[in-house]
Amino acid sequence: MTRHETFPTKTIADKDFVLATDLDGTFLGGTDSERRQFYDWIEASRARVGLIFVTGRDPGHIRDLTRKRGVPRPDFVVGDVGTTIAEVDEDHFLSPIGELEAEIEAAWNNAGMRVQAALQSVRGLKLQSSGFRYRVSYDMDPAAFDAGALDVIAGLGLDALISDNRYFDVLPKDVSKGPSLLRLLTHLGVDNRKVLVAGDTLNDLSMLAMGLPAVAVGNSEPALLEQVAGLDHVHAARQHGVAGIAEAILHHKLYS
């Protein structure tokens, strides 16, 4: 089936099903053939299916994925681990939604330089080069990491998030993927019962634990699976990546 870039006039709130998904390991996970089949289904079903990326990736990376690498263009993005909330236009540009980001900006309060100074001598952290607006992110060496960094960040009135045992993100207090996604869905008037949230690492926990239909795909981080065990609304998929998402859509009976 030929993929296309024509979007219907229906708003995302009017669609029958909305997929809110992490990227790496989740929407970008699975075999080449599984991804192609799932992406083609997304494109063929645009009139009924809404797509939101909920990711740690920044807007530039997301635009590159959708313009040049064959990944379907989302309707909206919750990026930068929940610190960016944006609409995506037909040219693949992300436009931040100011009224939703204002609270995030205020909670961050230009903390970037304070965070970097406070963590400068902490072992096991390497500052990532990207210039994020409302977060500071590090690559983490778990063998060398000094857990005292968590207390340092708490002392600054901010939140620290470790995911996949190799990333250390510093975020505004009480801002993460889940709360930002929920604010976006409320802003858009989307019925939460027709949303599937999908993820694979601990930085997806805040959205998987919200009570919406959810899936931890088969290649999920063991620590995430431990956290969601026993949550009836979270399907622990056997299949990896997009195949796990497809498995959960059937499990939750979200699309027919």
8 has a pLDDT exceeding 50: no
Q: Measured between alpha carbons, how far is 53 from 84 in angstroms, rounded to an integer?
A: 11
Output the six-digit token pair for 152: 């340092």
Residue 150's φ and ψ, nearest 5 degrees, are: -65, -40
Residue-wise pLDDT tens digits, 98-116 = 999 999 999 999 999 999 9
Outline which parts of the chain fall under CATH 3.40.50.1000. Answer: 12-103+175-251
Q: What's this model's pTM, rounded to 2 decimal places?
A: 0.91
The SS3 call for residue 90 is coil
4 has a pLDDT exceeding 70: no
Q: pLDDT at position 7, please?
A: 46
Outline which parts of the chain fall under CATH 3.90.1070.10. Answer: 108-171
12-103+175-251 is classed CATH 3.40.50.1000: yes
Residue-wise pLDDT tens digits, 142-156 = 999 999 999 999 999
Residue-wise pLDDT tens digits, 45-92 = 999 999 999 999 999 999 999 999 999 999 999 999 999 999 999 999
CATH architecture under which domain 108-171 falls? Alpha-Beta Complex (3.90)
CA atoms within 13 A on the CB side of 57: 21
Contact 194/17 with Cβ under 8 angstroms?
yes
Give me the mean pLDDT over the 172-181 stretch. Answer: 96
Name the residue with tokens 């009017």.
Answer: 14
